[in-house]
């Protein structure tokens, strides 16, 4: 085999691989492509028009107008010639007068081809997958504007094929991701669940110990018991958050209309005693109704409001402003506080799991990681702007549907 023959063989192998990546062979009719073959026929005045994909030893007609068969052998196909020059139209004005085709069974018998014009369908990576072709039983020709339009229609057909490929890829990836995350969720859920009961019983035992022996235990022993109880409490909180973390996920069926003002009100209700005790002023008005998933969205508002309360400035009353802005394709929500603020270098850091900036027991560093996971899975973004000692603004977007 010469180098050129070898090259041709390799590139045909690559071309076929590219075609198989589209997973489009034998997939039946497609409305958008059928419309294109219809237009091509009308444009060129022919009674047959095809979208033909060149497989190893056949041409498969993904769309066909004026022809009953779904495939013909490759060795007699006109389109095989057409894909040799991917940038050009391949035109045979009269097949009976053309030495290459006059004895071709497609010319001598059904469908009695006399005129053929094929525009190659080029993949994103530059391979000719097949053609959009027009065929007639009479000799014919195309004028310049018909040639141009046929090429443009072929481009359009290639775009539709590419769109279907991307759509299928997305569908398959989503199924794969869903399966993986289901498995991970199950593991996390089981682990967290199994951990909960021994921790709860240890806490109960410690409480009994503290109560029943408070007269006999000295101050230090009681203090140690309290430390142990506090640690248990933290672990239980961690487990609760982990269970919540594992439960969240986007299921297309759970999208509903949500009045975000109600989300804010229910978060406020949850932290009512903290808010009253610390004279927190929470302002919000005209928050929109959005199409989203209620439980995760509630968790985001709850976490951002609870953080604003937890990280308030010790020397001033806390004011929290919750606002919403309408962008082109998104709603943007802002939770703004006048708390202790965050150093710029930690803006990214705080959204990672178990990252905390303060050595206190106000939290476990899971809230913002959970918020980020939720907002991303709802199709939005979350970020913070803040100045130390002045306050923070947490913003997140969710798509308008």
Binding residues for ligand ADP, rule: CB under 6 A, are 303, 307-308, 310-311, 337, 339-340, 342, 350, 356-358, 362-369, 392
Q: Are 80 and 131 in contact (CB under 8 A)?
A: no
CB contact at 8 A, 330 and 340: no
CB-based burial label for 319 (10 Å; 0-12, 13-18, 19+): middle
Across the beta sheet with 281-284, the strand order is 281-284, 319-326, 330-337, 391-399, 382-387
For the chain, the distance separating the N- and C-terminal CA atoms, rounded to the nearest angstrom, is: 59
Shortest Cβ 280–ligand ADP spacing (Å)? 12
Residue closest to ligand ADP (Cβ)? 363
Residue 327: CB minimum distance to ligand ADP, A: 23
For residue 213, which of 201, 225, 202, 203 has the smallest C-alpha distance? 225
Instruction: Give the nearer residue to ligand ADP in terms of CB position, either 118 or 363.
Output: 363
Best CA proximity match to 72, nearest among 116, 124, 23: 116
Cα–Cα dist 210/206, whole Å = 6
Residue 308 CB, nearest approach to ligand ADP (Å): 5
Q: Smallest distance, Å, CB 34 to ligand ADP? A: 53
Q: How far is the CB of 187 from ligand ADP (least distance, A)?
A: 22
Minimum Å gap between C-beta 126 and ligand ADP is 47
Residue placing its CB nearer to ligand ADP in the complex, 353 or 401: 353
Beta carbon nearer to ligand ADP, 118 or 367: 367
Query: Is the Cβ–Cβ distance between 66 and 41 less than 8 Å?
Result: yes
Peptide bond into 111 cis (omega under 30): yes
CB-nearer residue toward ligand ADP: 297 or 342? 342
Dihedral sign for Cα atoms in the order 23, 28, 31, 33: positive
Measured from the CB atom, is 206 or 243 closer to ligand ADP? 243
- What's the min distance (Å) between Cβ of 184 and ligand ADP? 20
- Shortest Cβ 14–ligand ADP spacing (Å): 49
Inter-CA distances, 87 with 20, 59, 119, 154, 392, Å = 21, 20, 8, 11, 57
Question: Looking at beta carbons only, is 140 or 392 nearer to ligand ADP?
Answer: 392
Cβ nearer to ligand ADP, comparing 161 with 275: 275
| Strands lying side by side in the sheet with 115-122 | 71-73, 58-65, 48-54, 128-136, 115-122, 90-92
Identity of the residue, 120 or 339, whose beta carbon is nearer to ligand ADP in the bound complex = 339
Least Cβ distance, residue 357 to ligand ADP (angstroms)? 3
Cα atoms found within 13 Å of the Cα of residue 54, Cβ hemisphere only: 29
- Token pair belonging to 279: 């004279």
For ligand ADP, give the closer residue by CB, 72 or 392.
392
Quick check: helix, strand or coil at residue 47? coil
* Cα–Cα distance, 237 to 231 (Å, whole number): 10
């Amino acid at each position: 085999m010469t180098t050129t023959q070898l090259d041709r063989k390799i590139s045909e192998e690559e071309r076929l691989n590219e075609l198989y990546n589209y997973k489009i062979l034998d997939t039946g009719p497609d409305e958008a492509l059928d419309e294109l073959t219809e237009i091509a026929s009308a444009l060129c005045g022919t009674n047959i028009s095809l979208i033909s994909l060149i497989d190893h030893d056949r041409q498969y007609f993904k769309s066909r107008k004026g022809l009953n068969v779904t495939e013909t052998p490759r060795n007699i196909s006109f389109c095989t010639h057409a894909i040799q020059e991917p940038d050009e139209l391949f035109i045979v004005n009269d097949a009976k007068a053309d030495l290459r085709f006059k004895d071709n069974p497609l010319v001598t018998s059904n469908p009695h081809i006399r005129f053929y014009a094929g525009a190659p369908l080029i993949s994103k990576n530059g391979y000719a997958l097949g053609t959009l072709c027009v065929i007639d039983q009479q000799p014919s020709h195309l004028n310049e504007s018909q040639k141009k339009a046929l090429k443009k229609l072929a481009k359009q057909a290639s775009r539709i094929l590419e769109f279907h490929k991307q759509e299928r890829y997305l569908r398959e990836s989503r199924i794969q991701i869903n399966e993986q995350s289901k498995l991970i969720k199950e593991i996390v859920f089981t682990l967290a669940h199994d951990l909960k009961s021994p921790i709860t019983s240890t806490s109960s035992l410690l409480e009994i110990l503290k109560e029943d022996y408070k007269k006999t235990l000295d101050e230090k022993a009681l203090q140690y018991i309290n430390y142990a109880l506090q640690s248990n409490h933290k672990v239980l909180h961690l487990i609760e958050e982990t269970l919540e973390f594992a439960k969240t996920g986007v299921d297309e069926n759970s999208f509903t209309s949500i009045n975000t003002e109600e989300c804010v009100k229910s978060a406020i209700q949850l932290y009512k005693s903290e808010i009253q005790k610390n004279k927190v002023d929470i302002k919000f008005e005209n928050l929109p109704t959005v199409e989203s998933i209620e439980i995760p969205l509630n968790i985001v508002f709850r976490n951002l409001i609870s953080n604003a309360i937890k990280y308030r400035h010790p020397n001033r009353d806390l004011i929290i402003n919750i606002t919403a802005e309408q962008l082109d394709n998104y709603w943007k929500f802002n939770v703004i506080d006048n708390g202790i603020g965050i150093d710029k270098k930690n803006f990214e850091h705080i959204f990672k799991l178990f990252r905390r900036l303060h050595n206190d027991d106000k939290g476990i560093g899971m809230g913002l990681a959970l918020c980020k996971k939720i907002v991303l899975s709802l199709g939005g973004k979350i970020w913070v702007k803040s100045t130390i000692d002045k306050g923070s603004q947490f913003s997140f977007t969710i798509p308008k549907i």
